[in-house]
Amino acid sequence: PGGAGSERFRAIISDGQHYVQGMLATQLNHLVHSNQIMENSIVKVDEFMNNLVQNRTVIILLKVEVINPDPKQRFGNPTDIAKEGDLSAGGGGGPPQAQPMYGQQRNQGGGGMYNQRPAAAAAGGGGSNPYQNRFSNNASSNSSAPIVTSSSSSSASITPIAALNMYMNRWVIRARLTTKSDIRTWSNARGEGSLFSCELLDSSGQDIRCTFFKEAVDKFYHMLEVDRVYTFSGGRLKVANAQYNTCKSQFEVTFDQNAEIHLDNDVGDIQH
């Protein structure tokens, strides 16, 4: 269900002493399909996001380097970092099995920070013991709580376009406006209005299509200039229509008048 574009793999990430629930960003799915990441694989984590979901830490892996895909054994004897110091940590209700996620979006509070520092990790499955199960290609109707990100206390966290997913309800992207269409009007039985679309490119080289409707057209059309860099937030994600969308992202963004868009410094990190 949902097709390959909606496939999300959960994993258990460990440094040998503790483990934490995690998720692979979709651009890493090929590592699972090619068996470069499997139970107990050793990887170096280069980029990740740290999220808090229902008072539990969930790590989204954005960029990893596979060190040893199949070491044949578990690294260390890790315990659940969320239950550190709790004598009942060995009880039931361990982390869920690693599997593609197709859960429905829910409104959850949470905090996150996009990090860019290396760390050692091991990926594995879950159950009563999170290292007993392998990745599964069966969709689950009982997926865990959605992943969300929010602003940090000092400044807004920047989410890479490649890391956007349907489980987010708050995010900020920083991108260059590469194209902007003319304003088009529409009219049907439900009403009438106007719209325009544009394409955004971030520093990772990933681009995404955005559409502005009605009041958002009046508010943002003349403000947005092609080739300028902005931060964007307050949009709604939906699965991209591949028939009309040639951007790399599997999602599209819809903005209304409540969106927040700010001109940002162009420091040359995003290609023209």
pLDDT attached to residue 243: 82
Query: How far apart are the C-alpha atoms of 260 and 233, rounded to whole Å?
Result: 5
pLDDT attached to residue 116: 35
Which pTM does this prediction carry?
0.49
pLDDT attached to residue 242: 82
162 against 126, higher pLDDT: 162
pLDDT averaged over every residue in the chain: 73
pLDDT tens per residue across span 45-95 = 888 877 766 667 788 888 888 888 888 788 788 888 777 644 333 444 444
DSSP state letter for 150 = -
What are the b/e assignments for 213-250, b being 16+ CB within 10 Å? eeebbebbbeebeeeebbebbbbebeebeeeebebebb
pLDDT tens per residue across span 209-249 = 999 999 999 999 999 999 999 999 999 999 988 888 889 99
pLDDT tens per residue across span 130-159 = 444 434 333 333 333 333 333 333 344 889
